[in-house]
Structure 1
Amino acid sequence: YGTVYKAYLPSEPFEVAVKVIDMPKTIHDPCTLGDIFSEVTIMDEMRCEPRVCHLVDYGVSSGSYYIATSWYRMSLKAWRSAQPPDSLQANMRVYLSIATKLIDAVCRLDDRRVVHFDLKCDNVLLLPLSPHTTSEEMLRQPPGAVAPNFDVFLADFGESMVYATGEDGYTTRNRGTEYIKSPEMLTVANASSKERSTYDRRKKVGANKATDVWALGCLIYELLTGEFLFFDDDWIRFFIRVTSDSMGDDIMAPERLAPLRAVEGGEHVVEFLLWVFVRDPVRRPTIQDVAKRWDVVRMLVANGAPDSEAPEDAAACVSAPDLAASMVMRDSDRAGIAMLAREDFSATESEEARCGWNAVHLSDRLLVGAEPNAVRQVDGREVDSLRRAGVTSVVDCSRLGGGVVASEK
């Protein structure tokens, strides 16, 4: 809902996107105030989260509401649509790296008790890691790249909800895009009906955060193939396939899995998706389980090792050059000490424009940035040594090979 405009603020070194939503003019027009309030509340709460579209301002003007956010280069949908049809094998590591960022983003939502309900490539925005990177360079990743030259940001929280406790985190309202809805969301309209033979007033009904795990699986498939996993011209057949096992044990049509199985390492991704798509939300894996298992999938695909050869502690063994700081943040036991992960600076375009050097962020003694000698500023203040910045131990991932666990230096 609404119209999006691109604007430039003369007082600031960055562009913004302004979404304008008309107020209802008659009693017959839909009232979007509730959705707008929820969207602004969530974005304001997550203003400092690096994987969420940044809220700049919001308010009311004559006859309309408006929400101003940072301007992003393109959506993940537009980026994926611009890739060659046969790019899955050549860009597999890039796609897996993007999926890791998406999983981390959903983990951050879960930490803040936010359920998105509409995770799809259209609702993921991209921003280059360097302001000097052109849109064409974003669309055409360097040959042999193992990670994209851009970061991902979740957007469009109009269908989302925020909750205080687990008991409050259920909805009986139909939310999201049809072909990425979980079984419980597709049947949510009937969930609270007391006329059902299986009605139990003691059981909490509706869709909760487990829906985002289902949608995340759909999002990863859409990223890899450019298509909706469960799309079907016959809506009844789609509904039956997702909500019941009357069509057999194959929850995913074999023809949908064929493109994944045709590439090297794709079978590991197929097994991951089969593990994610559990119809019963109680038995479905949590987002934390998904994050840990995805680390193993990336390692297996990168190394080409069969499942039987996977190390016992595979979740802790990842390719060191791909060891993202976000991975360490969400599993502090794995880090144990402050880490300097070698990756492109995590500053936004506006921060880079203001600083003119690598801007990094220090959080819980975890330093994320470039090489040690490239660090110039931490949390807005200049530093001349890592120790003065509060970092007492550093893991340097830049010199480690793939498939090994980073050790203290």
Structure 2
Amino acid sequence: MPRTRTAKAAAPSSPAAETPKASSSKYSLEATKTASPKLFVLPKAASKEAKIVTLPNPRTAKPSRYLVCPQTGFYEFTKIAAPNSVPRSWLIETTHVSQRSGHTISDAECFIASPLDPVFLLLPSLAESSIAKGSDDKKKLFLSGDDYFDQLPTEYSHLEEILQWTESKSVLESRMAAICDTVDAGDEKMFRINREKLVMLCLSKARTLSGSLPVSVEKQFVAKALQAPVVNQRRAPVQKSASTLSEAPDSGTSTLLTESLESQSSAATIETAATSVDQDTVEVEEGIKPTEEVVELQRLRVALDFICDRYISPAVTQWLKEGLASSNVQFSALDEYLARVTELRAEALALRSLGDYSRKHMRDEDDDDAREQKKRKMEDEKRRKQNQSRGVRDLKKVNTTGMMKLSSFFQKK
């Protein structure tokens, strides 16, 4: 029978070859069953009756959180979070000495309550009839405050609970009167929005904000937006004659110098007759600079745009800016300056494109010259090889390894 080979049995694995077990932590933490708490910074003036409520956002109409206090008014929350590149956490300790427990919040988020003018919360219902097509300010009806409150979105809203507070309702009605025409109908006051009053209110808030813009906003949206491009202009070359430089106040010295120059060689004569040309000098034309009035108008526009983008819906913003043209604040000087800056930037871009094309054209010409020289060299080499005789070509094929060259016989010994 033919022999058969059997494989050797695999050696049992040694204990050292086994995968080490994962080391258990010294302290085991239980998973949190409840949601992680949030850190809020509330105003000291807020009373104990203050509550965090849900109201429709004035710009998006989505439910948002606000702090309402019957004594101090309305507050909005601003979320401040650490960047993703630098993760951080909060360590919160209880204020009671008897309780030794604390809490760690993994997300270093902080919500700061800042005062909010409630007129922006009511603006969507106040301006709804005004922004409708074909509406006339004189034909709009006066409505009560409750009628405007009912027009606001009620989904997930705590507005009804807020209106039960007498102080909060009076604050809302007083802020409505700041942008509305009012009439008394018995014991009840009626309101109708006035666009001029709304424009003046927004401009007043924008002036206050423009005086304290952050450094980053000032640099990005004010200084950079008003910066005009710098245009370079090349002067014509200036020529200076060498004979004018050699003139001296003494006429005799000038005559001797002229005679000596005439007796020199032709090269010296050419050098004397030549003119020295200075290098082309570049004249830098500084861009236009904005006046202080233009800078203040730009700050005011940036602040006004920020208020509109944050608290006013796009439709109401367009209606508001239409009324801005008839206000006492005119942005014509700013618009003219920005139009001039736009023209200069277009010219600078065209000059830059022309310069790039010229440099590219020069590079293309250099590449063409290099290719032409290479082609000419290859043709000369090919022509030289064709002119060689057959004997010379055969001699080149001879193996000369180990043979002395002919020139070695003529060297000095």
TM range, smaller chain: under 0.3
Bigger proportion of residues as helix? 2
The higher radius of gyration belongs to 2
